[in-house]
Amino acid sequence: MINKKNILKFIFMIVFQWALILLPINSYAQNTSTLPDWSGVWERYEGNGGMFDISTTKPPEGRAGRPGVRQYPPLTKIWEEKYKKNLELVAIDRLPDPISVCGTPAGFPRLLALPDVYEFIVRPEQTWIITENGPNIMRIYTDGRTLPEPDDRWLTYTGESVGHWENKTLVFKTISMIGEKSTILDRSGMTLSDQAEVNARMFKTDEGLLRAELVIEDPIALTEPWYVTRHFRRLMTGTRVYDYACAENNRNPITNSGKTLTLGPDGKPIDIEF
């Protein structure tokens, strides 16, 4: 029976259904308009030393991979011993960088301290950190999802990341990183365990730098939270990003003993000691 009450009820239902449909779209549009501009191409700001934590590096201008150069995170006793052993291996060129094999990612959080350039792709539902010196694509989900349950995740190079936006600041947490088994933080030989977790805040500073504030916690490697800050500066408009095919002409294979060889143009080792 068609009466005024039923007509109003029908109109209300139509409006309600459309509201349900349009609500996410409106929300998406709103998020898009309030997201920060991290477009363009960026590079790391903290020099070319390659040390992951510049603030605790000694000597202060020391470069990763040079004998005697190290950083001083709040390491547990067992991890300090591991780090010292790695430093000794670095000194005799027997600590190969996992990424030297070409093909595996540097992983997180090391991917915030790589050479070459970066892109930070900001979308409402996720942010991608793409490193030219790859392969590294880190996905930080900001669509409201939670971190996977233990049965739904496994250790990976970049781990699992979820976050949210607080005004123009990306706040995220990363867990489930593969750790010392397959990654290092820099060529001084610093590593973390697979129990490490990172809480991070990323935002653009008044100076136009992109700042990443990391709080690293690791019940096996660290006695207390390790605070590390990394910055990136935007390169000039028009800067391009290129392929990085590490295996294209890799003339530095690693031997089983961990020595980095140097191959001649004929593919045979040049090294006299080999």
Strands 42-44 and 117-122: antiparallel
Q: How far is the CB of 49 from other proteins (least distance, A)?
A: 8
Residue of the chain from 31, 80, 97, 204 that contacts other proteins (CB under 8 A) = 97
Kindly tell me which of 117 and 210 has the beta carbon lying closer to other proteins. 117
Kindly tell me which of 99 and 212 has the beta carbon lying closer to other proteins. 99
Kindly state the tokens that stand for 164: 């949210």
Kindly state the tokens that stand for 134: 């790859």
**What's the rounded Cα separation, in Å, for the pair 231 and 213?**
9
Q: Does residue 130 bind other proteins (CB under 8 A)?
A: no
Kindly state the tokens that stand for 223: 């006695």
Kindly tell me which of 206 and 248 has the beta carbon lying closer to other proteins. 248
Kindly tell me which of 89 and 220 has the beta carbon lying closer to other proteins. 89
Both ends of the chain: CA-CA distance in Å? 94
Kindly tell me which of 53 and 132 has the beta carbon lying closer to other proteins. 132
Strands 160-166 and 169-175: antiparallel
Kindly tell me which of 126 and 133 has the beta carbon lying closer to other proteins. 133
Handedness of CA 187, 189, 193, 196 (dihedral sign): negative
Residue of the chain from 38, 42, 54, 64 that contacts other proteins (CB under 8 A) = 64
Residue of the chain from 87, 102, 147, 220 that contacts other proteins (CB under 8 A) = 102
Span of 42-50, 138-146, 174-182, 219-227 interacting with other proteins by CB under 8 A = 42-50
Kindly tell me which of 148 and 264 has the beta carbon lying closer to other proteins. 264
Residues within window 243-272 making contact with other proteins, judged by CB under 8 A: 243-246, 248-252, 254, 260, 262, 264-265, 270-272
Q: How far is the CB of 184 from other proteins (least distance, A)?
A: 11
CA distances from 257 to 66, 89, 102, 106, 200 (A): 19, 11, 18, 21, 37
Residue of the chain from 35, 36, 56, 63 that contacts other proteins (CB under 8 A) = 63
Residue of the chain from 61, 81, 143, 166 that contacts other proteins (CB under 8 A) = 61
Q: Does residue 80 bind other proteins (CB under 8 A)?
A: no
Taking residues 131 to 160 in sequence order and writing x for each that binds other proteins by CB under 8 A, - otherwise, the string is: -xx---------------------------
Q: Which residues bind other proteins (CB under 8 A)?
A: 48-50, 61-66, 90, 92-93, 95-97, 99-100, 102, 115-117, 132-133, 187, 235, 239, 241-246, 248-252, 254, 260, 262, 264-265, 270-273
